[in-house]
Amino acid sequence: MRPDTEALIVIDVQNDFCPGGALAVDGGDEIVNEINAMMGSFQAVVLTQDWHPENHASFAANHAGRQPFDVIELAYGPQVLWPSHCVQGSAGADFHAGLDSDRADMIIRKGFRRQIDSYSAFFENDRKTATGLDGYLRSRGIDTLTLVGLATDFCVNYSALDAAKLGYSVRVIESACRAIDMDGSLFAARAAMKEAGVALD
């Protein structure tokens, strides 16, 4: 068992990010068994869950004439437009059925504010609006994080970078992640995480 100062953060292992989902990541379901096995080694486990309203600003369907993966400017900067996914209360927003979600001490829902997308487990994309995860971890005396989940180059990457910036010791277990890898995004994400001091195992 790992020390009680360490936590496992499981990022967005939801149906819409798994094969057959609205924003499927290749092999997204392949990581479930490894993550479940890892949970038994940690005294603190947190799951994050994308949780968007139907009219979310990041959905291409809510912008006339726009297609998924177009980039627009929102108040906080560039925003990729995504296929509608992880809509609140939908089957696509549910955790993958094989994931041991009952093991979670906390579930952080993100992306529920209509005008702000949210990749990171710690901050929404305006880089200011906190999810509350940092406060929770500090209240438990946790200073070391292991991140797994979907997708390596977006939500895992943003979460790892924010965790490092907040002063946590951070590692990402790449075998328990899968990437979208859009226009070199995986290479860029790995480089950014290494530069920030995140260990890639």
Residues annotated catalytic, as ranges: 12, 110, 155
Nearest-angstrom CA–CA distance, 72 and 94? 28
Q: What is the CA radius of gyration of the chain?
A: 16
Q: What is the DSSP letter of 153?
A: I
Residue 62 tokens read as: 């809510």
Other CB atoms closer than 10 Å to residue 139's CB: what's the count? Answer: 8
Cβ proximity of 121 and 9 under 8 Å: yes
3-state SS assignment for residue 27:
coil
Nearest-angstrom CA–CA distance, 114 and 59? 10
Nearest-angstrom CA–CA distance, 10 and 36? 10
Q: Which amino acid is at 5?
A: T
Nearest-angstrom CA–CA distance, 73 and 78? 5
